[in-house]
């Protein structure tokens, strides 16, 4: 363990375009390059983990209105992988078991996953969201804010720097007027202003705040013609028929179907698709539930892996949705009880750290020209229940002192203090 302000490889601090004057960023350890092909099995495990997290987020629903939910299992997976890097004991085993995380080479594989997105990295602030770019912008950012007065594990910080490219920002959480704007500025910058503030409630007792931000903007390969958009009936989850703006197009895309569903991979101009799954119609006044379980989603993924291109005429509504999640509730539903309660298994991060808050904010805009979306996941903790020392000693009266060479026991200096003034 070492203090973030101590001299050392990972904690050599240099100014690095701080979002708030005086904020520092860790330097000294370069992110390593890995070969994605080596970690094919681990990347498959991450895909399954993300599907598990996505199902849990949709089941929770967050604070979405009218049954609409937008979430980012990718952002949550990356944040939990960073947290897992500092976990041990029962908590580490629980995270691996519940989420299906790869046990070996987990951080290297996540590095490979993040590196595969780097081809599309860009500045969210430069995007004209009314005209999403033909070359997609997929910006992923990881950040760690730690209290400068609390010891943080050097090995943990090195892992985050080496495999996650994580900036480490030492702050004083007791100074809300400085630290909260810094957190919010990090979020605002890395989401192109789509999310203005960190999703957790600010708490001056926090000593550890881990963040992941994802920002996506891309034009469709074949944009929808706005002249073909018209208000058409849409049956809501409650079975009520409403009028909603519906876009229309006809193009070649992957089409697949399975038990109780059919869908398409609607392509963006490069590198990404929007996978759209329509459950089969059912009798009665209410439509089929759009929620799918993890096994069904794996079936969907496998079906699309071999699906042929077909010419498809598509009708798709426009939408613009925002949602936020209290993630401790989601973790509890997943069965991450030890993760929520341990005061010992995150000692590699900070001694006696316990998780206090976790939240996600996400939004998406889908229209004729393309899609823009952003998400931020934040996991926070605090050092609590510090054990009392077995003994105390106060040198508040005259005392003797020596400076001793440990190997020989030789007292090099010796003295007494009768009045320290």
Strand partners, 247: 316
Strands 137-147 and 167-171: parallel
**Cβ density class 207-225: b for 16+ within 10 Å, e for less:** bbbbbbbbbbbbbbbebbe
Q: What is residue 394's predicted lDDT score, i.e. its pLDDT?
A: 66
Bigger pLDDT: 181 or 241? 181
Handedness of CA 158, 164, 168, 174 (dihedral sign): negative
User: Cα(164)–Cα(106) distance, rounded to whole angstroms?
Assistant: 11
Percent of the chain with pLDDT over 90: 61
User: Cα(83)–Cα(34) distance, rounded to whole angstroms?
Assistant: 21
What the block records as the tokens of 161 is: 């720097």
Using pLDDT thresholds of 50, 70 and 90, give the confidence band for residue 19.
very low
To the question of domain 2-218+320-383 being in CATH 3.40.640.10, the answer is: no
Q: What is residue 322's predicted lDDT score, i.e. its pLDDT?
A: 93
List of residues 6+ apart from 262 with CB closer than 8 A: 255, 256, 277, 278, 280
Asked if 114 and 32 touch (Cβ cutoff 8 Å), the reply is: no
Q: What is residue 400's predicted lDDT score, i.e. its pLDDT?
A: 58
| C-alpha pair distances (Å), 92 with each of 86, 148, 324, 338 | 9, 26, 26, 9
pTM of the full predicted structure?
0.87
Average confidence (pLDDT) over 165-191? 94
User: Cα(262)–Cα(243) distance, rounded to whole angstroms?
Assistant: 23
| C-alpha pair distances (Å), 59 with each of 153, 229, 294, 302, 336 | 35, 31, 11, 22, 16
Report, in this order, helix, strand and coil percent for the chain, each rounded to 5: 30, 30, 40
Q: What is residue 279's predicted lDDT score, i.e. its pLDDT?
A: 86
What the block records as the tokens of 404 is: 């001793």
Computed over every residue of the chain, the mean pLDDT equals 85
260-307 pLDDT tens trace: 888 888 999 999 998 988 888 776 555 666 678 888 888 989 999 899
Handedness of CA 342, 344, 348, 351 (dihedral sign): positive
* Main-chain dihedrals φ then ψ at residue 292, nearest 5 degrees: -120, 145
110-122 pLDDT tens trace: 999 999 999 899 9
Burial of 360 (0-12, 13-18, 19+ CB in 10 A): buried
Handedness of CA 385, 391, 395, 397 (dihedral sign): positive
To the question of domain 230-317 being in CATH 2.30.39.10, the answer is: yes
Give the rounded distance of the alpha carbon of 65 from its chain centre.
23
Q: What is residue 214's predicted lDDT score, i.e. its pLDDT?
A: 94
Neighbour tally for 308: CB within 10 Å: 8
**Sequence spans of domains, the chain:** 2-218+320-383, 230-317
Q: What is residue 417's predicted lDDT score, i.e. its pLDDT?
A: 55
214-267 pLDDT tens trace: 999 999 999 999 999 999 888 887 788 888 999 999 999 999 999 888 888 899
Q: What is residue 415's predicted lDDT score, i.e. its pLDDT?
A: 55
What the block records as the tokens of 40 is: 């094919």
Using pLDDT thresholds of 50, 70 and 90, give the confidence band for residue 68.
confident
Using pLDDT thresholds of 50, 70 and 90, give the confidence band for residue 14.
very low
């Amino acid at each position: 363990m070492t203090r973030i302000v101590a001299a050392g490889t990972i904690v050599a601090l240099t100014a690095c375009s701080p979002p708030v004057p005086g904020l520092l960023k860790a330097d000294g350890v370069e992110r390593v390059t890995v070969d994605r092909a080596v970690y094919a099995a681990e990347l498959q495990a991450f895909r399954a983990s993300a599907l598990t997290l996505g199902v849990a987020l949709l089941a929770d629903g967050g604070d979405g209105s009218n049954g609409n939910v937008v979430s980012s299992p990718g952002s949550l997976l990356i944040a939990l992988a960073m947290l897992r890097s500092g976990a041990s004991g029962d908590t580490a085993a629980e995270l691996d078991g519940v989420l299906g995380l790869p046990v070996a080479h987990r951080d290297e594989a996540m590095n490979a996953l993040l590196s595969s997105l780097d081809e599309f990295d860009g500045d969210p602030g430069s995007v004209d969201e009314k005209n999403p770019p033909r070359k997609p912008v997929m910006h992923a950012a990881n950040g760690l804010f730690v209290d400068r007065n609390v010891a943080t594990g050097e090995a943990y910080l090195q892992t985050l720097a080496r495999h996650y490219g994580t900036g480490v920002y030492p702050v004083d959480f007791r100074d809300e007027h400085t630290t909260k704007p810094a957190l919010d500025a990090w979020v605002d910058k890395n989401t192109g202003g789509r999310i203005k503030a960190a999703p957790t409630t600010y708490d001056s007792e926090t000593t550890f705040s881990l963040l992941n931000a994802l920002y996506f903007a891309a034009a469709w390969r074949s944009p929808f013609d706005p002249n073909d958009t018209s208000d058409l009936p849409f049956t809501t989850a409650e079975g009520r028929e409403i009028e909603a703006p519906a876009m229309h197009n006809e193009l070649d895309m992957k089409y697949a179907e399975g038990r109780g569903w059919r869908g398409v991979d609607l392509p963006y101009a490069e590198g990404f698709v929007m996978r759209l799954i329509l459950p089969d119609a059912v009798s009665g006044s209410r439509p089929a539930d759009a929620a799918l379980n993890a096994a069904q989603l794996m079936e969907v993924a496998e079906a699309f892996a071999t699906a042929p291109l077909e010419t498809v005429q598509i009708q798709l509504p426009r939408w613009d949705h925002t949602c936020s999640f209290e993630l401790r509730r989601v973790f509890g539903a997943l069965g991450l009880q030890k993760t929520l309660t341990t005061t010992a298994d995150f000692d590699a991060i900070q001694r006696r750290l316990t998780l206090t808050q976790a939240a996600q904010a996400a939004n998406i805009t889908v229209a004729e020209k393309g899609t823009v979306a952003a998400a931020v996941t934040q996991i926070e903790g605090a050092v609590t229940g510090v054990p009392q020392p077995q003994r105390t000693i106060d040198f508040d009266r005259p005392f003797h002192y020596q400076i001793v060479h440990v190997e020989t026991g030789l007292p090099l200096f010796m003295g007494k203090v009768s009045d320290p003034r």
